[in-house]
Chains A and B, each alone.
Chain A
Amino acid sequence: MKTQFFKLVVPAIFLLCVSISCSDDDDNPDAINEEETITTVLLVVTEEGTTNVDTYTWTESDQDDIVLDADSTYNFKIQFLDQSDPTDVEDITEEVIEEKDEHFVFYETTTSGLTFASASDDTIDSDSVAINISTDWETGDATTGIIRAYLIHEPTTKTGSSRDDFGGETDIEVDFNVTIQ
């Protein structure tokens, strides 16, 4: 009986040794550079009727302050970049536009008199809702405050007046200080 017992156990031990020695390689794992992360948000701001273009950048290490003139109109184009690999910068905005039905851009501001609306060249989704990639802004009196930009993924609705109305998940939420002068 002993022999039968060991007939089964010995190959098992052998298999164990083989599998350990086979898997015991010393290869180093490959580095992963996360893609799809949005590292940078750009606001490309054009004063209406002019060719004055200012680009404001938001990254985790550096945030630009926006300066606008009082009682003026501006066009804001928002851009999302992945700069995690500096040699291969990816424009995630294209993806957002491609998946326009699942995305929505929204702004909130603490600056009184500052309002925005979708621009004529904005991206329109298949339900004919403009998703605020391009927006027109009107400024009021001189003041300071912040503009908070959101990119919302799969909002439950695209109509509303505050972030709470849209549901969905927040892909982007960044603050720009703004000075109206």
Chain B
Amino acid sequence: MIRRAWLIVLLFGIHVLSGQQCDKTLVGKVIDFHDGVPLESAIIQYNNTIIKTDQDGGYRISGLCPTAYAFTISHENCNERVITLDMKEVTQNDFYLEHHYTDLDEVDLASSQNKVTNSQVEEKLSRKELDNYSNLSIGDALKEISGVTTLTSGNTIVKPVIQGVHSSRIIILNNGVRQEDQEWGEEHAPNMDINAFDQIKVIKGSGALQYGGNAIGGVIIAENKLTALRDTIFGKSQLAASDNGRGGAINSGVSIGLKNGWAGKIQGTAKYFGDSEAPDYVLSNTGHREQSFSAAFGRREFIYGVESYYSFYNATQGILRASHIGNVGDLVRAINNDFPLVINDFGYTIDAPRQETQHHLAKIKGYKRFKNFGKLNLQYSFQYNNRKEFDIRRGDDKDKPSLDLELITHSIESNFLFDSSDNFKKNVGFQFSYQTNTPNPDTGVRRLIPDYKKTGIGAFALTEFKVNDQLTLDAGLRYDFLNINAKKFYEKDFWEERGYDTGFEDLIIDEESDQWLTNPDFDYNSISVSGGLNYIYGNRNTLFFSVSVANRAPNPVELFSDGLHHSAAIIELGDLRFDQEQALKFSLGSEHNDFFDLGSLVISPYLSRIRNFILLEPTEVELTTRGAFPVWEYKQTDAVLYGIDIDYSIDVLESLKFNTGFSYVYGQDTIANEPLISIPAPSFRSEILWKDKRWIARLVNSTVLKQNRYPDNDFEIDIIENNILTTETVALSETPMAYTVFDVFGSYVFDLWQAKDLTIGASITNIFDASYRDYMNRQRFYADNVGRNITLNINFKF
């Protein structure tokens, strides 16, 4: 706002008054662009004069000189516009204003009343909050939101979990483009840099059908907007250094707004960390490196706009050396040992096992508004993702990855928003995407994910109907078609063992010694629907309610897995017979911004019933030359998930605030009648925030209880102990103990060259260096979580 005001002052300075006769008159109206309704009490400012429009939106300005004037037009809830008119030529002019602030995509970070959907429960993190995590990942930051937890593999591979579900059940939008980076894998974190975004929103529900019909868990929207300001250049640099991992991150970004309305933004980040440390030992081979870059250029005018965006992400992530096991015996040894089986001195080297990922995203987008009608959006995007996973291998293959996938996605989408009537909005659109996955055969390891082509077509229609000032209803319908056309080798023995020889014999297209080459070509059709309401009542209370049906087609891992997952030492089996998952979800949000003068309270319970829920469970033990291996089979069952997220905050003093959040999820396999695996434990997150003009101090406590609901997947193996063959139970089901961790953050803002341009901050996470393990960390069998970490943060704006 300060910047904008400054800009107006600058624009006023442009016109030069000369000693002409000032007798010109300008008349016209201020009109709403959408519905053509004249705006009463709109304000027109020029020089030091302020004029208000009458009840017909009309105005009349006299005594103008024959020169150029910059008029600033504003109206309540509207975007301010500055229009320059040359009074030598004009006597009559209508000003059009945009009063749908959100639709312009111009997001005011200070406002919380800025939702993407009408009836879904949404939360968001602003740039300021994200700044605290500049050297971490998006998943780490999202943990601030109740109901969002993480599924991790060590401390750098962090996947978000929304209300108990994750991976392909969540859509992540990277600047308006659905992120495609092999998100199905539990050890595949989103290939995105947190610093590339201005804000991240989370929609905790499956009803946002404009993004996809398969977001059973929800949608994460990460956005980076071009500046709407003109003739300006600003930027920032941030440096963070941490003692745990003995590394740091640097990121810098510059935004430019040109006079003619074109704007640009570039941003880059580099991270460099060595091994992390648990309280009692070094977590060997957990270093990580990351480089990323993004650039955007475009023009965002009131009635049209174009934008091009490119981002690149490159990361190398070490995976705890001790978590790479050869067989189940090794797993038993790891579980029985308090310490990881491999502990080396601290180092920066990243050996196998490790992941190397690269992601390129390019998009071009345009929009055009039509008077009294609506807005057309059109977008094309291209993504290239390469994922290499290096296991510990021997001989000539030592430096070869075990997995090397190349995923290319093209997508084109368009929608039309009919917003001429504010009370009855409609949004229709389509998405088309084409994806190829090519595993590199040079790995010498049978392909975990086969070669495939995937074509997706989706079309949706959404509507929002404002019944009265309090009640707004919404409804949505979406149709999706998905085709997966794969080419996959199956070992002949396996093909028969799985019973594919009857029913799938037509898929065989070729033969190569003991393998069949098959061509699975599957179509999935689905219809998703959603409906909801948003009811505002009493003293700043809002009630959200939504019902949605979403469908998710099985992903390639679930369909095609057929063998040893080397680094995890399990045999994973998919199933070609899988059908789509179908989820029915009810969510409620009860928001009380002034809860009996005792702060604000948000309660969001939900219930979802998922038919054909796909999960991985152990079935038997197979004997190989590497000893006994548990076989984990994907299976379809029916599941029920319900839970509640509660947020409460109160301003204790003017500068002292207390926030607390609680999340609980219950997951049950209703056919086997047992708890679902990997459901986050109940958790609390509380913070005391002290904030004045320059100081911010936060004390945060995160408490995670023990998950008492888990399926019994233990199995038995024979071991030889003192020359006697004994049976030992592999106790991998048991969940870790509850834990509590305290973090403290502090920062101070300085005025160096400009007001508040330098922020220096420090944080200590896990202050008391607590040793703990987390159920949602896949490495919990092998090592403790990261210990105390002290980070220094310098943030400079210019």
Interface residues of A (CB under 8 A from B): 1-2, 4-5, 8-9, 12-13, 15-16, 19-20, 23-24, 28-41, 58-60, 85, 95, 99, 102, 108-112, 146, 148, 153-154, 156, 162-164, 167-174
CB <8 Å contact, B517 and A28: yes
A170 to B719: give the CA distance in the assembly, Å.
14
CB-contact partner of A171 in B444, B515, B626, under 8 A: B626
CB <8 Å contact, B624 and A99: no
CB <8 Å contact, B392 and A164: no
Q: A23-B408, A173-B329, A174-B627 are in contact. List 6 more A-B contacts (CB 8 A).
A: A12-B380, A29-B441, A34-B446, A109-B723, A112-B723, A164-B333
Contact A60-B627, Cβ < 8 Å, known A16-B410, A29-B451: no
CB <8 Å contact, A9 and B489: no
Nearest to B455 among chain A residues (CB) is A20
Contact A168-B341, Cβ < 8 Å, known A31-B489, A110-B724, A163-B329: yes
Of B24-32, B77-85, B506-514, B636-644, the segment with at least 4 beta carbons within 8 Å of chain A is B506-514
B721 within 8 Å of A by Cβ? Answer: yes
Q: How far is the CB of B83 from chain A (nearest CB, A)?
A: 16
CB <8 Å contact, B366 and A36: no
CB <8 Å contact, A110 and B725: yes
CB <8 Å contact, B445 and A8: no
B306 within 8 Å of A by Cβ? Answer: yes
Q: How many residues of B contact A (CB 8 A)?
A: 61
Nearest to B321 among chain A residues (CB) is A154
CB <8 Å contact, A5 and B306: yes
CB <8 Å contact, B625 and A32: no
CB-contact partner of A32 in B306, B342, B436, B489, under 8 A: B489
How would residues 716 to 751 of chain B score, 1 for a CB under 8 Å from any chain A CB and 0 otherwise? Answer: 000111111100000000000000000000000000
Nearest to A87 among chain B residues (CB) is B513
A35 to B396: give the CA distance in the assembly, Å.
10
Contacts of A172 in B (CB 8 A): 625-627
Contacts of B487 in A (CB 8 A): 28-29
B324 within 8 Å of A by Cβ? Answer: yes
A42 to B720: give the CA distance in the assembly, Å.
21
Q: How far is the CB of A31 from chain B (nearest CB, A)?
A: 4
B68 within 8 Å of A by Cβ? Answer: no
Contacts of A5 in B (CB 8 A): 304, 306, 366, 368
CB-contact partner of A169 in B392, B410, B453, B512, under 8 A: B392
CB <8 Å contact, A108 and B326: no
CB <8 Å contact, B364 and A156: no
Which residues from 339 to 361 on chain B have a C-beta closer than 8 Å to any C-beta of chain A? Answer: 341-342
Contacts of A164 in B (CB 8 A): 333
CB <8 Å contact, B445 and A34: yes
A40 to B719: give the CA distance in the assembly, Å.
21
How would residues 769 to 787 of chain B score, 1 for a CB under 8 Å from any chain A CB and 0 otherwise? Answer: 0000000000000000000
| Top-8 shortest CB links A-B | A173-B627, A169-B326, A170-B326, A31-B512, A108-B720, A12-B380, A167-B341, A170-B327
CB <8 Å contact, A153 and B326: yes
CB <8 Å contact, A170 and B330: yes
CB <8 Å contact, A1 and B380: no
B397 within 8 Å of A by Cβ? Answer: yes
CB <8 Å contact, A32 and B368: no
Contact A169-B324, Cβ < 8 Å, known A34-B445, A36-B394: yes
B325 within 8 Å of A by Cβ? Answer: yes
Contact A32-B451, Cβ < 8 Å, known A12-B364, A16-B412: no
A171 to B624: give the CA distance in the assembly, Å.
10
B434 within 8 Å of A by Cβ? Answer: yes
Q: List 5 A-B contacts (CB under 8 A).
A: A36-B395, A163-B720, A167-B333, A169-B330, A173-B627
Nearest to B398 among chain A residues (CB) is A99
CB <8 Å contact, B364 and A99: no
CB <8 Å contact, B342 and A167: yes
Q: How far is the CB of A19 from chain B (nearest CB, A)?
A: 6
Nearest to B304 among chain A residues (CB) is A1
CB <8 Å contact, B624 and A60: yes
Contacts of A20 in B (CB 8 A): 410, 434
Which residues from 691 to 726 on chain B have a C-beta closer than 8 Å to any C-beta of chain A? Answer: 719-725
Q: How far is the CB of B399 from chain A (nearest CB, A)?
A: 13
Contacts of A28 in B (CB 8 A): 487, 509-510, 517
CB <8 Å contact, A35 and B397: yes
CB-contact partner of A170 in B395, B489, B515, B626, under 8 A: B626
CB <8 Å contact, B368 and A40: no
Q: How far is the CB of A151 from chain B (nearest CB, A)?
A: 9
Contact A31-B513, Cβ < 8 Å, known A9-B364, A16-B412, A108-B720: yes
Q: How far is the CB of B266 from chain A (nearest CB, A)?
A: 20
A16 to B433: give the CA distance in the assembly, Å.
10
B671 within 8 Å of A by Cβ? Answer: no
Nearest to A1 among chain B residues (CB) is B304
B371 within 8 Å of A by Cβ? Answer: no
CB-contact partner of B625 in A15, A41, A99, A111, under 8 A: A41
CB <8 Å contact, B517 and A36: no
B378 within 8 Å of A by Cβ? Answer: yes
A142 to B394: give the CA distance in the assembly, Å.
40
Nearest to B438 among chain A residues (CB) is A29
CB <8 Å contact, A154 and B392: yes
A132 to B3: give the CA distance in the assembly, Å.
76
CB-contact partner of B444 in A16, A36, A39, under 8 A: A36
Nearest to A164 among chain B residues (CB) is B333
B653 within 8 Å of A by Cβ? Answer: no
Contacts of A109 in B (CB 8 A): 720, 723
Contacts of A85 in B (CB 8 A): 513
With a 10 A CB-CB cut-off, give which of B329, B368, B397 has the most chain A CB atoms.
B329
